[in-house]
Structure 1
Amino acid sequence: MTRAHASLGRWEPAPLADVVARFSGLEAPWWVAGGFAIELAVGHRVRSHGDIDVLLLRRDQHAAQRALPGWQWWAADPPGSLRPWAAGEVLPVGVHDIWCRPGPDDPWRIQVMLDESCGQEWVSRRDLRVRRPISTLGAASADGVPCLAPDVQLYYKAKAPRPKDEEDFDAALPVLTGQQRRWLIHAIAETYGPHPWIRRLEA
């Protein structure tokens, strides 16, 4: 879904500190995702951001409503359009993006993404063969912010890399551990086939 679509409203990403404050009281696991996750992994600013993403497991989707009480929650259903997400409604598997704003006249502030799981494993929504223990899905930044592991975030960005995804890859590559590189190489090859990032990861 493109945020350039004027009819969907404008974006003004919430500050990271506000996002952390709102989600930190949840019992369900959550992670800052997207470009901010890469910056938290590398420890410095990489680029400007058009939005801010939070990842939840689908089974914990209602945690988003608890974290943002009184806000408007809109589901991308189907991708490319938005509809209101009712309190307590269970979103189907095909819906994995939720746009959130304080009120109808406010800009969109936070995007919540839903990922799949099976027991104690995270399962990629793009390829059911790609999975890993939920306990390894994220990490804490130097400031203690839960963030998506950079190899998982880059796996999603590898589908059709945009210039900002290439920036994120360039920034994250030096900090990836050998284990993260191996996992990412396998995941990219399994899901996308030959990919220009693989050669750089192998170097």
Structure 2
Amino acid sequence: MTWDPAPLSEVVTLFSQVRAPWWIAGGYAIELAVGHAFRAHDDIDVLLLRRDQAAVQEALPSWEWWAADPPGTLRPWRPGEILPPAVHDVWCRPGPSAPWRIQVMLDESADGEWFSRRNPGLRRPVAGLGRLSADGIPYLATEVQLFSKSGRPRPKDEQDFTAVLPVLDAAQRRWLADALGTAHPWHDRLIVIPGR
């Protein structure tokens, strides 16, 4: 399946009218934290809370939306359909012959708190889930993004970790170390997170 990721500026424009909180995620979130581009991207990710999933259809009303049903099957997402908890990703494109342009990820929340679907005991207030770039672009908090990339890190995840580690403050490092210690106590990143 062909991807031609939408430019960051286009994604920000498309989602700027969404009333629900949303954040740039994935590799672009890391680059926003670092303050400059440092690698190529195969896609572009936007994170929304599952409760706000209808905002995808509102932001991209003339696009196609495809739910990624586990274990890796894409199917059309019907207008107004509530996606089941097992669906965490939605692939979006402007039309049937167009390449995929945006991937939307759905994360969990309850009572004003975000929680990890991989480890529901790992929580934080939704209000603290994102940051704003120097240009005012909302992006997923770096420590949360690094945690989500830590399960089975790929070479690009290692590159992201190395690039962004110097810009993490002590609180972000502590949160990441605690999260990794809880979910992945074997993780080798635990020994390289200074200032925790």
TM superposition score category, shorter chain reference = over 0.9
Contact 1:79 1:95 (8 Å CA) reproduced: no
Distance 1:200 1:181 in 2: 10
Cα distance in 2 for partners of 1:116, 1:122 equals: 6
Unaligned runs of 5+ in 2: none
- Which residue of the partner structure matches residue 182 of structure 2? 190
Question: Is 1:15 aligned to 2:7, yes or no?
Answer: yes
1:4-39: per-residue Cα shift (whole Å, max 9, x none)?
A: xxxxx2000000000000101111000000000000
Match for 1:58 among 50, 66, 78? 50
Aligned-partner residue type, residue 42 of structure 1 = V
Is the aligned partner of 1:110 residue 2:102?
A: yes
C-alpha displacement at 1:135, in angstroms? 0.8
Task: Percent identity, please.
Answer: 62
- 1:156 corresponds in structure 2 to 148
Return the alpha-carbon distance in structure 2 between the equivalents of residues 42 and 69 of structure 1: 32
Q: Which runs of 5+ in 1 are unaligned?
A: 1-8
Aligned amino acid, residue 77 of structure 2: W
Deviations 1:81-140 (A, max 9, x none): 100000000001110000000000000000000000011100111100101001110000
Letter in 1 for 2:188: P
**What corresponds to 2:128 in structure 1?**
136
One-letter identity of the residue aligned with 2:167:
V
The structural deviation recorded for 1:192 is 1.5
Structure 1: which amino acid aligns with 2:112? Q
TM-score, normalised relative to structure 2: 0.98
Secondary structure, counterpart of 2:114 in structure 1: strand
Q: Which deviates more from structure 2 when the two are superposed, residues 163-172 or residues 191-200?
A: 191-200
Q: Which amino acid aligns with 1:79?
A: P
Task: Give the drift of 1:79.
Answer: 3.2
Shift of 1:148: 0.4
- Counterpart CA distance in 1 for 2:79 and 2:62 is 10
Separation in 2 of the partners of 1:46 and 1:31?
Answer: 20
Q: Does 1:33 align with 2:25?
A: yes
The residue number in structure 2 matching 1:88 is 80
Q: Partner of 2:193: helix, strand, or coil?
A: helix
What displacement does 1:202 show? 3.4
| Segments ≥4 residues shifted beyond 4 Å | none
- Read off the aligned partner of 1:75 and give its amino acid letter: A
Aligned to 1:79: 71
